[in-house]
Amino acid sequence: MKEWNDVSVVQVVLMVLCAFLLLLATFVAFFMAFRKRATDQKLKNRYLQIEMQEKLIRTSIEIQERERVKLAHDLHDEVNSKLYATLMYARLLEDNQTEEESREIVANMVKILETAIEKIRDITQDLIPNALNNVGLHDEMKNLCEQFSNIPNLEINYHNPFGKETFQAFDMQRQIHLYRIIKELVNNSLKHGKATTIQIDVQLENSLFTLNYSDNGVGAEQKQLLNSEGIGVKGILFRSEIVGGTAEFQSAKDNGLNFKLQVKL
Q: What is the pLDDT of residues 165-202, one digit of tens each?
A: 999 889 888 898 899 899 889 988 988 888 999 999 99
How many folded domains does the chain comprise?
2
pLDDT of residue 87: 86
The per-type count for the chain, helices as H runs and strands as E runs, is 7, 5
Same domain for 121 and 23: yes
Are 60 and 103 found together in one domain?
yes
pLDDT at 209: 96
User: Do 94 and 182 belong to one domain?
Assistant: no
Nearest to 234 by CA among 19, 9, 11, 61: 61
170: domain CATH number is 3.30.565.10
Q: What percent of the chain has pLDDT over 90?
A: 21
Give 2's pLDDT tier (boundaries 50, 70, 90). Answer: very low
Helix (H, G, I), strand (E, B) or coil at 28: helix
Which stretches within 75-191 are classed as H helix? 81-94, 99-127, 131-148, 172-191
* pLDDT value of position 220: 78
Same domain, 74 and 110: yes
Q: Give the residue, 196 or 150, on which the prediction is more confident.
A: 196
Q: Are residues 151 and 112 in the same domain?
A: no
What is the β-pairing status of strands 257-264 and 245-251? antiparallel
Least confident of 11-20, 81-90, 206-215: 11-20
Task: Indicate if the alpha-carbon torsion angle 144, 149, 150, 153 is positive or negative.
Answer: positive
Residue 162 and residue 114 share a domain:
no
Q: Is 102 in the same domain as 149?
A: no
Same domain flag for 68 and 138 = no
Per mean pLDDT, which of 120-124, 174-178, 220-224 is the most reliable? 174-178
189 and 241: one domain? Answer: yes
pLDDT band, residue 25 (cuts 50/70/90): confident
Across all residues in the chain, what is the average pLDDT? 81
Cα–Cα distance, 91 to 191 (Å, whole number): 39
Q: Of 14-18, 128-132, 260-264, give the lowest mean pLDDT range.
A: 128-132
Residue 248 CA to residue 243 CA, distance in Å, equals: 14
Domain boundary among the residues 92, 127, 162 is at 127
Pick the last residue of a domain from 85, 109, 127.
Answer: 127
Q: How confident is the model at residue 44 (pLDDT cuts 50, 70, 90)?
A: confident
Q: Are 140 and 256 found together in one domain?
A: yes
The verdict on 242 and 172 lying in the same domain is: yes
State percent of the chain over pLDDT 70: 79
CA distance readout (Å), 158 to 39, 51, 209: 49, 36, 15
Q: Could you tell me which residues are beta bridge partners of residue 159?
A: 201
More confident site: 95 or 112: 112
Instruction: Give the domain range for residue 151.
Output: 129-265
| Phi and psi, residue 201, nearest 5° | -120, 130
For residues 104 and 149, membership in a common domain is answered with no
- Sheet of 257-264, strand order: 155-159, 197-205, 208-215, 257-264, 245-251
**Domain limit, last residue, from 105, 127, 149:** 127
